[in-house]
Amino acid sequence: MEIVFKSRRLAKILNSDRELRREYGTAQAETIKRRMAVLAAAACLEEVPYHPPDRRHELSGDRRGQFAVDLKDPYRLVFEPSHYPLPRKSDGGLDLRRVTAITILAVEDYHR
Contact 107, 11 (CB under 8 A): no
Q: Are strands 2-5 and 57-58 parallel, antiparallel or unpaired?
A: unpaired
Task: Give SS3 for 25.
Answer: coil
Q: What is the pLDDT of residue 37?
A: 97
Q: What is the pLDDT of residue 111?
A: 78
| Interval 57-108: pLDDT, tens | 999 999 999 999 999 989 999 999 999 898 999 998 899 999 999 999 999 9
Question: Which positions ≥6 away from 63 have C-beta within 8 Å?
Answer: 78, 110
* pLDDT above 90 (res 16): yes
Which numeric CATH code is attached to 2-108? 3.30.2310.20
Task: Give SS3 for 111.
Answer: coil
